[in-house]
Amino acid sequence: MPAFLSALLIFSLRVVDVSIDTVRIVFLIQGRRWLAGALGLVQSFVFIVAVAQVLRDLDDPIRMVGYAVGFATGTVLGSSIERWIGMGQAILRVIVPFDTPPVAPGLRAAGYGVTVVHAEGLQGPVRITFAVVPRRRITHAIGLVKEVNPTAFLTIESTSAPDIPYRRSRFRS
């Protein structure tokens, strides 16, 4: 196989391998271990085929460049795929001064689950609003918050599902 075609094959295999690996890690973090395991099986097979292609001729820098550029491209593509899929939930944390408009009613009206905690900030009382939002709807929720209170401070945190099925506690208080 000509060097250029070999490098192109290695590049393509690495793009596929690293993209799958990136998505696999996200599924693992979300607690979807069986799906992550299945993706790991496919990813490891593609990886082995790519490495075997590189090891056929270690003196060929074009193959090594194909390997490295494929890795970088796969990282970008994998994170783009993960963002496009948008699986799972995120916690939107909104902090606003107490004397500014509350964001909870707007988020609740849009159907998001919301919890509000009253707290003390650097400059006085604040409301901390927690909303569980599907990741693919996070931009929508942020838009609602900024529409109601443009001074709101926001953070977003990914969530993971517990690996233990829900059971009622044997212990009652």
8-41 residue pLDDT tens: 998 999 999 999 998 898 888 777 889 999 999 9
Please give the biggest Cα pair distance in the chain: 73
- Give the pLDDT score at 161: 54
Task: Judge if pTM exceeds 0.85.
Answer: no
Q: How confident is the model at residue 150 (pLDDT cuts 50, 70, 90)?
A: very high
CATH 3.40.50.1980 fits 89-158, yes or no: no
| pLDDT at site 167 | 53
- β-pairing, 153-158 with 113-121? unpaired
Summarize the confidence of residues 131-135 as an average pLDDT.
Answer: 89
Predicted confidence (pLDDT) at residue 73 exceeds the cutoff of 70: yes
Mean per-residue pLDDT, 166-170? 53
Question: Residue 84: what pLDDT?
Answer: 78
Q: How confident is the model at residue 61 (pLDDT cuts 50, 70, 90)?
A: confident
Name the residue ranges covered by the structural domains of the chain.
3-85, 89-158
Close Cβ partners of 106 (under 8 Å, ≥ 6 residues apart): 144, 145, 147, 148
Q: Give the DSSP per-residue string, 84-140.
A: HH--SEEEEEEEEETTS--SHHHHHHTT-EEEEEEEEETTEEEEEEEEEEEGGGHHH
Q: What is the mean pLDDT of the chain?
A: 86
Q: What is the mean pLDDT of residues 102-121?
A: 94
How do 89-97 and 153-158 pair as beta strands?
A: antiparallel
What is the percent of the chain where pLDDT is above 70?
A: 91
